[in-house]
């Protein structure tokens, strides 16, 4: 297929795609402005294990001062000592 034919084919396919979108149910739905700010919160134990595994000494010390449990284990039963 020549470059010119490919360009024409791509333009035709895009025009067809836009026509289908215009006729679709999704296009007719109300636009919702969901401004909820989603935030993931991890437990101190999870952060402690990740910090130990990463070798982040400052974060480990901060968490220990905050009262993090040094015996925290992951789902496999591994503690920070294993990291």
Would you list the domain boundaries of the chain? 44-82
Helices (H) then strands (E): counts for the chain: 4, 0
d(CA 27, CA 82): 53
| pLDDT, tens digit, 9 for 90 and up, residues 34-77 | 677 778 899 889 999 999 999 999 999 999 999 999 999 988 99
On the question of pLDDT at 1 being above 60, the answer is no
On the question of pLDDT at 24 being above 70, the answer is yes
How many residues are given for the chain?
Answer: 83
Question: What pLDDT score was predicted for residue 29?
Answer: 78
Confidence of residue 32 (pLDDT cuts 50, 70, 90): confident
Can you read off the two tokens belonging to residue 5? 């034919």
Confidence of residue 2 (pLDDT cuts 50, 70, 90): low
Can you read off the two tokens belonging to residue 69? 């449990």
d(CA 36, CA 34): 6
CATH 3.40.50.2000 for the 44-82 domain, yes or no:
no
């Amino acid at each position: 297929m020549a470059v010119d034919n490919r360009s024409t084919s791509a333009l035709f396919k895009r025009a067809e795609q836009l026509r289908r979108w215009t006729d679709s149910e999704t296009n007719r739905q109300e636009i919702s402005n969901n401004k909820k700010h989603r935030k993931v919160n991890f437990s101190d134990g999870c952060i402690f294990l990740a910090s130990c595994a990463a070798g982040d000494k400052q974060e480990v010390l901060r968490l220990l001062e905050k009262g993090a449990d040094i015996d925290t284990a992951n789902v496999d039963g591994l503690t920070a000592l294993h990291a």
